[in-house]
């Protein structure tokens, strides 16, 4: 396994989870943390780009519908910036149409709501192993 | 009115049905049997006295022999053909079909109208499923709470050593999200169960609904009936949009009736003729008001089309021999559009409508600008064209059509797209 250590250890890789539903965010954070990732949370789209630039996460999990800036807008901005062009991004989408748009905008992977915890874990592991 | 090709066929059928011999009928009409034979085989067109005597001898209503009675069927079928690109039909025998099998032709037209309305219904439902903000928000709410419930429940079920404070926290989340899920699901069911009709959902075209209603009212109202708003009749219209359009129409008709009371108006029309500008001067009102009032006079039999600045027809009152497009844009050569481009300049012309046996109309068109939001608001334009039947043909008549797809004219400078008619011819 790449980059995973016991929770709290500084070497673990960093996942930035941008999701405005607190209970979904809490559940995802719990599963990922227990799997050994360092997870930070953000619930607002407007601050997302600044946080990505300052925190430099190894993976971004991005909800499609966010207050402020939408997930799609954030993804487009990340892809336009040379620093974040190849940053792995997983999008959480509710509908097939959103998924096609996220794909065009350059998302590395998608999770359709309602996803299972095992699916999220497997996808995060596979993205981080690239 | 000259007979078109289909009438010969019908004359022959009527004669045979009556068991009459060609030579007997010809003798009673006062023409030669060979001439009647040519007529019956659509080689000669007849009009005037010969047509009257033929109709008498065969006991047929002259009007029923004239093209006008079948024109709607012919136009309806032409529109159907235009929509079914790729289906090869015997267009040159269209009039024969309508003449010999009017019932079947009517059925085809009715079926096509039904297909049109169903296509529209599907498009509307599709729009509704994909773009309706309420539905989208309800679904999003349900999917979000369900995601949370699923993830949280899985953690509770699958984590053996979950600390007690986390367990309590996830139980609270689960409870909260299951409540949200229930509320969201109820909202979704209530929304889908709203029981609104197809028309209510905007599936029947509102403008057509209103025009059907106006047609049933003879395109006019008694002045005295206008102020009370005809609420019961409007309430009978199926869709909200149509009721709103109908109310707007009536409000305008009521205002027009105040500006031009019918008794004085009829007297003035007798004095000035149907001249919108002389009448506008006499009553100190906008020529558009006069044109709308003139279109409401049953005796005049005038058609009226009105469009906005985009050229979209916002009102269509047909007149015999001047077919109006049901869908899509009209012929760009209509003087209506000349007036639209030059507001406040009257345009008068004699026009000859394609495919109507050389029938001519005198048309008068006019456009007025409006500034409903005042000086710095947008300028709106409204153009109207009054179609007056019974003009005598003239070499200077402008050759126009209904819309390109069903227009047989060749070498038309304004053609937008090929005609199904010239393609077949």
Please check whether residue A68 is in contact with residue A19, taking contact to mean a CB–CB distance below 8 angstroms: no
3-state secondary structure (DSSP) of residue B393: coil
Interchain CB contact of A26 with B (< 8 Å): yes
Among B33-42, B147-156, B202-211, B263-272, the range scoring the smallest mean pLDDT is: B202-211
pLDDT of B393 reads 65
Q: What is the mean pLDDT of residues A40-50?
A: 90
The percent of residues above 70 in pLDDT, for chain A, comes to: 88
pLDDT classification of B359: cutoffs 50, 70, 90: confident
User: Does B255 map to a domain?
Assistant: no
- With bands split at pLDDT 50, 70 and 90, how would you rate the model's confidence at B423? very low
Stated pTM of the model: 0.51
- B244 located within any domain: no
What is the C-alpha to C-alpha distance for residues B209 and B238, in angstroms, rounded to an integer?
8
* Cβ separation B151–A27 shorter than 8 A: yes
- Domain range spanning residue B32? 5-66
Which residues in chain B have Cβ-Cβ distances shorter than 8 Å to A116?
Answer: 150-151, 154
Does residue B214 lie within any of the structural domains?
no
Interface predicted TM-score of the whole assembly (ipTM), two decimals: 0.85
Residue B242 lies in a domain: no
Same domain, B336 and B411: yes
Q: Which residues pair with A63 in a beta bridge?
A: A92
Contact call for B155 and A28, based on CB within 8 A: no
Phi, psi of A62 (to 5 degrees): -125, 125
Domain shared by B165 and B87, yes or no: no
Residue A127 C-alpha, separation from nearest chain B C-alpha, in angstroms: 20
Looking at the structure of chain B, the number of domains it has is 4
Could you say which of B139, B143, B155 has the minimum Cβ distance to residue A27? B155
Residue B195 has pLDDT above 70, yes or no: no
Query: Is residue B12 assigned to a domain?
Result: yes
Q: Which residues of B touch A30 (CB under 8 A)?
A: 155, 166, 170
Task: State the CB neighbour count (10 A cutoff) for residue B79.
Answer: 24
Is residue B117 one of the residues assigned to a domain? yes
Q: Which pLDDT score, from 0 to 100, does residue B277 have?
A: 95
The pLDDT, as a whole number, for residue B174 is 94
Q: How many CB pairs under 8 A join A and B?
A: 56
pLDDT of residue A123 exceeding 50? yes
Residue B278 φ then ψ, to 5°: -60, -40
Q: What is the pLDDT of residues B110-125, one digit of tens each?
A: 898 888 888 877 877 7
What local confidence, expressed as pLDDT, does residue B76 receive? 83
Q: Which two tokens stand for residue A40?
A: 């930070």
pLDDT at A51 over 60: yes
Confidence of residue B1 (pLDDT cuts 50, 70, 90): very low
B50 and B77 in a single domain? The answer is: no
> CA of B176, closest CA in chain A: separation in Å?
9
Assess whether B405 and B335 both reside in one domain: yes
Give the B-side interface with A, CB within 8 Å: 130, 139-140, 143-144, 146-152, 154-155, 158-159, 166, 169-170, 173, 176-177
The CA distance from A64 to A92, in Å, is: 6
B324/B333 Cα distance (integer angstroms): 13
Q: Give chain A positions within 8 Å (CB) of B147.
A: 21, 24, 113-115
CA end-to-end span of chain B = 25
**How much of chain B exceeds pLDDT 70, in percent?**
89
Q: How far is CA B403 from the centre of its chain?
A: 12
* Minimum-distance CB partner of B146 among A26, A114, A118: A114
Q: Do A31 and B173 touch (CB under 8 A)?
A: no
Is the domain of B372 the same as that of B342? yes
Quick check: A65 and B140 CB within 8 A? yes
| pLDDT value at B68 more than 70 | no
May I ask the CATH class of domain A14-128?
Answer: alpha beta
* pLDDT of amino acid B84: 82
Residue B139 distance to chain A (closest CA, Å)? 9
What local confidence, expressed as pLDDT, does residue B85 receive?
78
On chain A, the residues whose CB falls within 8 A of the CB of B166 are 30
Question: Which one of B130, B147, B159 has the shortest CB-CB distance to A115?
Answer: B147
pLDDT beyond 50 at B302 = yes
Residues B101 and B53 in one domain: no
Do B398 and B311 lie in one domain? The reply is: yes
| Same domain flag for B83 and B62 | no
Segment A94-106 shows an average pLDDT of: 79
End-to-end CA distance of chain A: 11
Residue B425 has pLDDT above 70, yes or no: no
Number of neighbours of residue B345 by Cβ within 10 angstroms = 11
Provide Rg for chain A, Cα atoms: 13
Residue A30 has pLDDT above 50, yes or no: yes
Query: Which residues does B118 contact at the CB level (< 8 Å), separation at least 6?
Result: none
What local confidence, expressed as pLDDT, does residue B3 receive? 47
- Predicted confidence at residue B406, as pLDDT, reads 77
Which of A81-95, B67-81, B233-247 is predicted most confidently?
Answer: A81-95
pLDDT band at B208 (very low <50, low <70, confident <90, very high): confident
Q: Is A100 on the interface with B (CB under 8 A)?
A: no
CA–CA separation, B98 and B116 (whole Å): 21
Question: Hey, of B151, B156, B158, B178, which one would you mutate to test binding to chain A, going by the most A CBs within 10 A of its CB?
Answer: B151
Do B60 and B166 lie in a common domain? no
Helix, strand or coil for residue A92?
strand
B158-183: pLDDT as tens digits: 988 899 999 999 999 999 999 989 88
Q: Which of residues 42-61 of A touch B (CB under 8 A)?
A: none
Please indicate, yes or no, if residue B207 is contained in any of the structural domains. Answer: no
The per-residue pLDDT of chain B, averaged, comes to: 84
Cβ–Cβ below 8 Å for A23 and B140: no
Pick from B13, B45, B66: which residue ends a domain?
B66
B424: which residues sit within 8 A by CB, 6+ positions away? Answer: B89, B91, B92
Residues 6+ apart with CB under 8 A from A52: A16, A60, A78, A84, A87
For the residues B379-407, what does the mean pLDDT come to?
86
Over 80: is that where the pLDDT of B215 sits? yes
- Pairing between β-strand B347-353 and β-strand B313-317 as defined by DSSP bridges: unpaired
- Model confidence at A102, pLDDT cuts 50, 70, 90, reads confident
Best residue in A27, A63, A98 for a mutation probing chain B (most B CBs within 10 Å): A27
Of B20, B51, B66, the domain-final residue:
B66
Instruction: Examine residue B199 and state whether it is found in any structural domain, yes or no.
Output: no
How much is the pLDDT for B381?
95
| Residue B199 scores a pLDDT above 50 | no
Structure confidence at residue B340 (pLDDT): 96
Residues B32 and B143 in one domain: no
Label residue B2 by pLDDT band (50, 70, 90). Answer: very low
Give me the CATH number covering residue B340.
Answer: 3.30.450
Query: How far is B314 from B288, CA to CA, in rounded Å?
Result: 14
**What's CA A121's distance to the chain center, in Å?**
12
């Amino acid at each position: 396994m790449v980059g995973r250590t016991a929770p709290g250890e500084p070497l673990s890789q960093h996942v930035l989870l941008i999701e405005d539903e607190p209970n979904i965010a809490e559940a995802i954070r719990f599963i990922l943390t227990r799997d050994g990732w360092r997870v930070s949370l953000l619930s607002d789209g407007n601050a997302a780009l600044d946080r990505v630039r300052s925190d430099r996460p190894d993976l971004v999990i991005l909800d499609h519908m966010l207050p402020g800036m939408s997930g799609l807008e954030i993804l487009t901005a990340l892809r336009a910036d040379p620093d974040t062009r190849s940053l792995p991004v997983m999008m959480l989408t509710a509908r097939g149409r959103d998924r096609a748009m996220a794909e065009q905008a350059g998302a590395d992977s998608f999770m359709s709501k309602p996803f299972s915890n095992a699916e999220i874990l497997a996808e995060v592991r596979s993205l981080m192993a690239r | 009115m000259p007979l078109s090709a289909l009438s010969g066929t019908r004359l022959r059928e009527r004669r045979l049905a009556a068991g009459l011999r060609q030579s007997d009928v010809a003798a009673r009409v006062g023409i030669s049997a060979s001439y009647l034979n040519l007529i019956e085989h659509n080689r000669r067109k007849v009009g005037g006295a010969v047509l009257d005597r033929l109709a008498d001898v065969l006991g047929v209503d002259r009007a029923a022999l004239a093209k006008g009675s079948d024109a709607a069927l012919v136009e309806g079928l032409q529109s159907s053909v235009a929509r079914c690109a790729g289906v090869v039909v015997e267009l040159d025998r269209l009039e024969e079909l309508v003449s010999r099998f009017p019932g079947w032709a009517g059925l085809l037209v009715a079926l096509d109208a039904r297909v049109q309305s169903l296509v529209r219904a599907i498009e509307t439902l599709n729009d509704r499923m994909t773009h309706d903000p309420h539905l989208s928000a309800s679904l999003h709410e349900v999917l979000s709470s369900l995601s949370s419930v699923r993830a949280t429940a899985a953690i509770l079920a699958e984590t053996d050593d979950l600390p007690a404070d986390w367990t309590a926290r996830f139980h609270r989340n689960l409870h909260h999200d299951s409540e949200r899920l229930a509320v969201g699901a109820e909202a979704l069911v209530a929304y889908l169960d709203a029981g609104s009709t197809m028309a209510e959902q905007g599936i029947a075209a509102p403008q057509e609904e209103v025009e059907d209603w106006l047609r049933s009212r003879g395109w006019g109202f008694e002045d005295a009936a206008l102020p009370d708003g005809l609420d019961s009749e409007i309430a009978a219209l199926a869709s909200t949009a149509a009721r709103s359009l109908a109310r707007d129409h009536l409000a305008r008709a009521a205002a027009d009736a105040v500006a031009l009371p019918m008794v004085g108006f009829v007297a003035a029309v007798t004095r000035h003729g149907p001249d919108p500008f002389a009448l506008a001067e006499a009553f100190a009102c906008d020529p558009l008001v006069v044109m709308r009032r003139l279109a409401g006079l049953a005796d005049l039999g005038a058609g009226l089309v009105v469009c906005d600045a985009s050229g979209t027809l916002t009102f269509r009152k047909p007149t015999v021999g001047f077919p109006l497009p049901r869908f899509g844009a009209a012929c760009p050569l209509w003087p209506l559009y000349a007036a639209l481009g030059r507001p406040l300049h009257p345009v008068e012309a004699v026009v000859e409508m394609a495919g109507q046996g050389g029938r001519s109309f005198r048309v008068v068109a006019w456009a007025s600008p409006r500034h409903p939001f005042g000086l710095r608001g947008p300028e709106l334009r409204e153009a109207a064209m009054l179609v007056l039947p019974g003009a005598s043909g003239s070499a200077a008549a402008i050759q126009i059509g209904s819309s390109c797809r069903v227009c047989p004219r060749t070498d038309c400078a304004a053609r937008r797209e090929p005609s199904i008619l010239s393609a077949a011819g």
